[in-house]
Every structure is written in structure tokens, then in C-alpha cells.
Amino acid sequence: MLAARLYGTKDLRIEEMPEPEPGPGEVKIRVAHAGICGTDLHEYFETPRATHEPNPLTGATLPQTLGHEFAGTVVERGAGVDRVAPGDRVCVRPIRTCGVCPRCTAGLSHLCTALAAIGVTAPGGGLAQYVVVPADAAVPLPDGLSLEQGALVEPMAVGLNAVERAHVPWGGSALVAGAGAVGMGVLFALKAHGVHDVTVVEPSPARRAAAERHGARVLDPAAVDVVEEVMRHTRGRGVDAAVECSGRPEALDGAIRSVAAQAPVVMVALYSGPVAVDASVVRLAELALLGAEAYPDGVFERVIEHMAAGRYPTGGWLDHIPLADAVAGLHDVRDGRCVKVLVDIPSTSS
Ligand SMILES: [Zn+2]
Ligand SMILES: [Zn+2]
């Protein structure tokens, strides 16, 4: 089968490898679509998290097949699997956890200190024709959802968790910094939570257009003073919450200066290093700086329910590319030319 395997920084090869076969408790999936996201950019352009030393939890090493946002059809199951059957359409919750650390035993396994992810630091990955995953990672899709939507459940779950962390009041207002896929997921999740006054800050014209099409008020941070605009819009009060999805230090600074007193600022972006925060702004307005990581148990299922109710429209923010163009897709996402790139996986190698 064909797979896109990462050998090191900026070295992704699309090559033939043997098809994996499911062992006990595992399922084999024929992948239909796999998304490219900010994590993949970090893996490809910066430093792969998988190394030549086997991952202590999962045994993963380089080369690592990329792709942790994917959906497909179950083709085979190993002994003891009754959760899904061949023919079922599934998406995959990629995180793998140790089950024994203090966070896992406290019910916070998505924050496991040994956390690994399929397609990053666990064997397999969705940028391949077939993948074998533990059966408990396969989440069935209801009949009304497409495999394209299935491949979006993972990034939308990241956005929904960020919004659930913020507890924005119904009918309230919010600022979203960055309109990549997670930013779009935050926008959709805010609307699902009754928050329709959403300002999205985004320098890329393509991404601003996508957010605007889906009901956001958009600001170009290169053209306007974001904090001034937000304060004018809210008559000096500030928005009820901000969600920082861009990873840019100036966006986090804008977020803490744009929220109302005692409001939450949720950080869900990937930060490439330490980011300075003006602590006096946080103290004087009694702000709540919150992190949001991955997705606790139940978030995938809630995304799927919202999708089935039509709350994650797919118009105007998805680009499809063939597996052979995966490296070009990484550049397109990094350069902001697209919001979300889905790689279409061919069903045959020829
Ligand atoms: Zn991702
Ligand atoms: Zn753990």
C-alpha cells in the first residue's frame, strides 16, 4: 500500500509499504480522507516528535506515517472486537494514553503525561491506504454523515473543547484569533452554543472570507487596530470570551486586551516557544487564562451530534488534494492559502 512517511524534518516520502494486519483488539480501516493540520506542520517543518528511539508508550519510531485526522471504512477486525464490524464507517480518536498516571486515574486521560497520538507518535497514520488502530479508537459515524465530515471530527473536537472550556454565555460575544481549521471549529462551536456575535481576527484573505461566509465579523490585524475595533463594537466593555487559535504572540496579547472583566481567554493554538503575557492586564481585569488540549472523553461524540444536526457546514473552507501532493498541501496550509486541506486517499495503488 501507499503511505506518506516522515523520515525527518522536511523529509516526507510517499512510498510503498506492507499493509498492516489487525491483531487481537484491533481493526483495519481503509482510509478515505485525512486532514493536514498545524501539528503536521510542526512535525514536517520543525521537529518530528517521533524519533529513532521507540516511543515509550507506543513503540513508534521514524519513519512515522503522518495523519491523525481521518475517516474510512472498517475492512477487517481482530479477535475479540465487537464494537465495530467490516463495512462500518468510522473516524478515529487518535490519542493513546497510559491509563496509570495521576492524570489518567483522575479521569483526565487526554492530558496523560505519556500522551501519544496515532499519526504523530503512535504507529500507523491516516496518510496511508490502510491503517490498523485499537478498536476503542474507532468512533462509528451515523448514516447521515459523510467520510469527508468524518475526517473533520478530530479538528472540530479540538475547537469544541476550547469553547466548552470558555463557558461563554448563550447570546454572548466572542473573539477568535486565527481562522485555520481549529478557528473555524471554534466559530461553529460558538454558534452551536448560542454565541452569534463572533469577531474573527485573521491576516489571510482566504481564511477571512471563509469565516465571513459562516457568519463571523472579520478583522484584518494588518489593517486595523483589533482592540480598538472590538472595544468600539462592544461599547468599551469587551467580548465575553476570546479563543486564541493562531499561535501568534501578538494575537494572544490582543485577546487579553479585548475581553470583558473576569472573562476567559482560551489558548488552543500550538506555540513554538514561550510567549510573554502582560500579567498586569490579566490581574487588573481578573481574567482567566485557560489552556485547552485535545478532547476529553465525550467531545468526539458531541461533535458528531452537532454535525448530524447541520452545525458544521463544509462550504468554502475545504480543499481536497491527492496523496501524491501531500507535501504541497503542507506548504499550502503553512502559507495560509487554504483553511483546511483534506488528502484523498486512493483505494488502489495504481
Ligand atoms: Zn490535528
Ligand atoms: Zn496517563
Percentage of the chain beyond pLDDT 90 is 95
Residue 33 has pLDDT above 60, yes or no: yes
User: How does the average pLDDT of the chain come out, rounded?
Assistant: 96
CATH architecture for residues 156-291: 3-Layer(aba) Sandwich (3.40)
**Cα 121 from Cα 294, distance rounded (Å):** 15
Residue 318 has pLDDT above 90, yes or no: yes
**Phi, psi (degrees; rounded to nearest 5) at 242:** -130, 145
Residue 272 has pLDDT above 90, yes or no: no
What would the grid cell of residue 312 be?
A: 458544521
> What is the 182 CA–ligand 1 centroid distance (Å)?
8
Mean pLDDT within 224-238: 98
Mean pLDDT within 21-48: 96
Mean pLDDT within 311-337: 94
> What is the 296 CA–ligand 2 centroid distance (Å)?
13
> What is the 4 CA–ligand 2 centroid distance (Å)?
29
> What is the 157 CA–ligand 1 centroid distance (Å)?
10
> What is the 297 CA–ligand 2 centroid distance (Å)?
14
pLDDT of residue 350: 53
pLDDT of residue 220: 98
Question: pLDDT tens, 98-147?
Answer: 999 999 999 999 999 999 999 999 999 999 999 999 999 999 999 999 99
pLDDT band at 349 (very low <50, low <70, confident <90, very high): low
> What is the 94 CA–ligand 2 centroid distance (Å)?
15
Residue 93 has pLDDT above 90, yes or no: yes
Ion ligand 2 residues within 5 Å by Cβ: 97-98, 101, 104, 112
What would the grid cell of residue 5 be?
A: 512517511
Ligand (nearest to CA of 94): 1
Mean pLDDT within 224-229: 98
**Cα 65 from Cα 226, distance rounded (Å):** 40
Q: Residue 226 carries which side chain, given as an amino acid letter?
A: V
> What is the 118 CA–ligand 1 centroid distance (Å)?
11
**Cα 109 from Cα 93, distance rounded (Å):** 13
Percentage of the chain beyond pLDDT 70 is 99
CATH of 2-140+317-344, one of 3.90.180.10, 3.40.50.1360, 3.30.70.260, 3.50.50.60: 3.90.180.10
Ligand (nearest to CA of 56): 2
**Cα 328 from Cα 106, distance rounded (Å):** 42
Of 190-204, 213-227, 327-341, the range with the lowest mean pLDDT is 327-341
Nearest Cα residue to 128 out of 45, 39, 23, 19: 19
Answer yes or no: are the C-beta atoms of 267 and 289 closer than 8 Å: yes
CA dihedral (278, 279, 283, 289) positive or negative: positive
- What dihedral angle (degrees, nearest 10) is formed by the CA atoms of 203, 206, 209, 215? -80
Ion ligand 1 residues within 5 Å by Cβ: 37, 39
**Cα 166 from Cα 59, distance rounded (Å):** 36
Domain boundaries in the chain? 2-140+317-344, 156-291
pLDDT of residue 280: 98
Q: What is the pTM of this model?
A: 0.96
Ligand (nearest to CA of 156): 1
**Cα 22 from Cα 43, distance rounded (Å):** 27
Residue 51 has pLDDT above 70, yes or no: yes
3-state class (DSSP) for residue 34: strand
Question: pLDDT tens, 56-76?
Answer: 999 999 999 999 999 999 999
> What is the 155 CA–ligand 1 centroid distance (Å)?
6
Ligand (nearest to CA of 108): 2
**Cα 14 from Cα 345, distance rounded (Å):** 12
